[in-house]
Structure 1
Amino acid sequence: MLDKRTMELPVGEQVRGKNVKEPFCSQYRCGSLLGSGGFGSVFSGQRLSDGLQVAVKQICGDRVQQWARQPGELSPVPMEIALLQQLSEVGGHAGVVRLLDWFELEGRGFLLVLERPPQSQDLFDFITERGALPERLALRFFRQIVEALRFVHAHGIVHRDIKDENIVVDTRTLEVKIVDFGSGAPLKEAAYSEFEGTRVYSPPEWILAQSYEAAPLTVWSLGVLLFDMVCGDIPFERDQEIIKATPIFTRRVSKECQSLIRWCLAFRPEDRPSLDDVLSHPWMEGGEEEEEEHSSPLSPSL
């Protein structure tokens, strides 16, 4: 998934940004391409003032699906910038990537400067290399993700694209961060009728009626993610499998873990747990003592 080629960013002339006096190229250096997709590209980078390792996300303006107006700004900015700034203003969260800076470039879109652990790997690659994760390690990751999402929802935001590729693991500390808020939106109680996330992580109600609510969508995607962690792959590939909502476990998984996954993957949105319910599930609580015993950094055998 990682492309180690070094590419030059077309930094052009800065128009707007948090630090208007100094252009991007005088504050940061870009390195290799880390990944790319429909949103644009993400590069490794370094802040020149102190050598801090960062990620630089380039967004093409014509690919932005949602825009937001910021106080004091004449022109709208991509919704992703607005959402990340909103979380930063309330102090941020250890499990959510922090936006350090952003720039608008003349005719070239936007650059987002994001924190990046020096030894990091997305969860997709982490699982691809190691296979299915031991339950205690899956629990360690999963608890952090759910707690981070509870913070995100509490501050009026829904991510809408929770998946292994959008979770970054610090391989030294086993701390994880949720990244890529490009599909995110302001949280609302009413149903959503647009979805920019990943279809194989989407719930039955979206497949059947193109409608969903924020909390049940999030919990469904968490069920898919937890299955992915403990089985090594996602449970559903086709729409008919999603609609059936019956995961088939391909590896030995404890009854408690299976029950949590099945609860998150309940066909009816109203039958799924809340994020608080997930955190208080016996599998989540039962692993706390064991997790403390095995709190050392990742060993090569895992």
Structure 2
Amino acid sequence: MHYICVGLHIVSYTLNTTSLFVKEPFDSQYHCGALLGSGGFGSVFSGQRLCDGLQVRLQTHSFTSAFIPSSLELVCLSVCLSVGGHASVVRMLDWFEVEGRGFLLVLERPPHGQDLFDFITERGALPERLALRFFRQIVEGLRFLHAHGVVHRDIKDENIVVDTRTLDVKIIDFGSGAPLKETPYSEFEGTRVYSPPEWIVSQSYEAVPLTVWSLGVLLFDMVCGDIPFERDQDIVGAAPVFTRRVSKECQSLIRWCLSYRPEERPTLEEILSHPWMEGGEAEEEEHSSLPNQSL
């Protein structure tokens, strides 16, 4: 049995086949469906739980030469599960060790789910009211993660799943996640075009300023239909050029999140109290009282 401390939580997990209980084999509990995508850490498949037909997301992770990187997602999601989870964070339903190969995670999958990248690609720039609805849920989910000692480190449109029926969102893919700490990080496995200037310049960053910078890029992406920076020199310039008509309040929040100096960026709590966020609360309440429908 191995242990890792994440915040105030001690998470245990087995890295061999010896266990105090016998888990039913994967094949007797789940059906593996089509490949949904693949990346550096593993692959993602559609799946179904056999006992009740629940649609799930199956995510493989390969062992690497380092000590625990392939299991960090398992650890992060176990922490979330241990404290009851959050509506805006994907929920882990089960996990299996594939002997000598890595881990297979069983995650919830919204029946009408679509990642935010495809959602924006199909529809173009989002109305600010809808962007605000998504953004608030994402920030609340990140507050939950930080409060329980987890930093995601790869917030981007591809790692947000939208339920197109309810317009609820979930943060997914914790493959770049890590225990939250107050001291700087010197490694980064996220997406470079979402990384902050301090990483480009000095290969160092802190958890909250990194997260907030990524949120600024994400919000720009939602309201303009594309990310603000593609090249390192543009990231370091930290001067987004708005390609669409965006309200002054929304621009203000984006520019604040994309402040060059990490210490000048807002906290997650300050984001939630920004006038643009507060100005949309009445509209969101009105929307939530309407019957759910797909866009």
| Runs (4+) off by over 4 Å | 16-19
Partner of 2:31: 29
Partner of 1:41: 43
Partner of 2:149: 156
Partner of 1:67: 68
Kindly state the Cα deviation for residue 294 of structure 1 after the two structures are TM-superposed.
2.7
1:130 aligns with 2:132: no
Whether the 8 Å CA contact 1:16–1:103 is kept in 2: the answer is: no
Q: In the alignment, which of 200, 207, 214 is matched to residue 193 of structure 2?
A: 200
Flag the 1:99–1:66 CA change in 2: closer, same or farther, 3 A: farther
Amino acid at match of 2:136: R
Cα separation, 1, equivalents of 2:71 and 2:108: 19
1:81 aligns with 2:74: yes
Partner of 2:178: 185
Cα separation, 2, equivalents of 1:126 and 1:184: 24
Mapping for residues 97-108 of structure 1, pairs under 5 Å = 97-108=90-101
Cα separation, 2, equivalents of 1:166 and 1:137: 18
Cα separation, 2, equivalents of 1:103 and 1:17: 12
Cα separation, 1, equivalents of 2:19 and 2:230: 41
Aligned length: 278
Q: What SS is found at the alignment partner of 1:294?
A: helix
Amino acid at match of 1:56: L
Kindly state the Cα deviation for residue 85 of structure 1 after the two structures are TM-superposed.
0.3
Partner of 1:6: none
Q: In the alignment, which of 240, 244, 248 is matched to residue 247 of structure 1?
A: 240
Amino acid at match of 1:182: G
Amino acid at match of 1:101: D
Whether the 8 Å CA contact 1:17–1:101 is kept in 2: the answer is: no
Q: What SS is found at the alignment partner of 1:114?
A: strand
Once the two structures are superposed, residues 237-291 of structure 1 have per-residue CA deviations (whole angstroms, 9 ceiling, x without a partner) of 0000000000000000000000000000000000000000000000000011122
1:271 aligns with 2:264: yes
Kindly state the Cα deviation for residue 54 of structure 1 after the two structures are TM-superposed.
0.5
Q: Structure 1 regions of 5+ residues with no counterpart?
A: 1-13, 69-76
* Overall identity of the aligned pairs, in %: 76
Kindly state the Cα deviation for residue 292 of structure 1 after the two structures are TM-superposed.
2.2
TM-score (norm 1): 0.89
Cα separation, 2, equivalents of 1:18 and 1:149: 34
TM-score (norm 2): 0.91
Q: In the alignment, which of 211, 223, 233 is matched to residue 230 of structure 1?
A: 223
Amino acid at match of 2:106: V
Cα separation, 1, equivalents of 2:260 and 2:95: 40
Partner of 1:116: 109
Flag the 1:39–1:96 CA change in 2: closer, same or farther, 3 A: same
Partner of 1:147: 140
Cα separation, 2, equivalents of 1:263 and 1:17: 50
Bigger shift: 103-112 or 228-237? Answer: 103-112
Cα separation, 2, equivalents of 1:96 and 1:288: 21
Cα separation, 1, equivalents of 2:205 and 2:178: 13
Cα separation, 2, equivalents of 1:85 and 1:156: 12
Whether the 8 Å CA contact 1:16–1:104 is kept in 2: the answer is: no
Q: What SS is found at the alignment partner of 2:105?
A: strand
Kindly state the Cα deviation for residue 132 of structure 1 after the two structures are TM-superposed.
0.3
Flag the 1:169–1:16 CA change in 2: closer, same or farther, 3 A: farther
Kindly state the Cα deviation for residue 59 of structure 1 after the two structures are TM-superposed.
1.0
Kindly state the Cα deviation for residue 91 of structure 1 after the two structures are TM-superposed.
0.5
Partner of 1:58: 60
Q: Structure 2 regions of 5+ residues with no counterpart?
A: 1-15
Q: CA RMSD in A?
A: 1.7
Q: What SS is found at the alignment partner of 1:78?
A: helix
Kindly state the Cα deviation for residue 298 of structure 1 after the two structures are TM-superposed.
5.0
Cα separation, 1, equivalents of 2:194 and 2:159: 12
Kindly state the Cα deviation for residue 61 of structure 1 after the two structures are TM-superposed.
1.2
Q: What SS is found at the alignment partner of 2:215?
A: helix
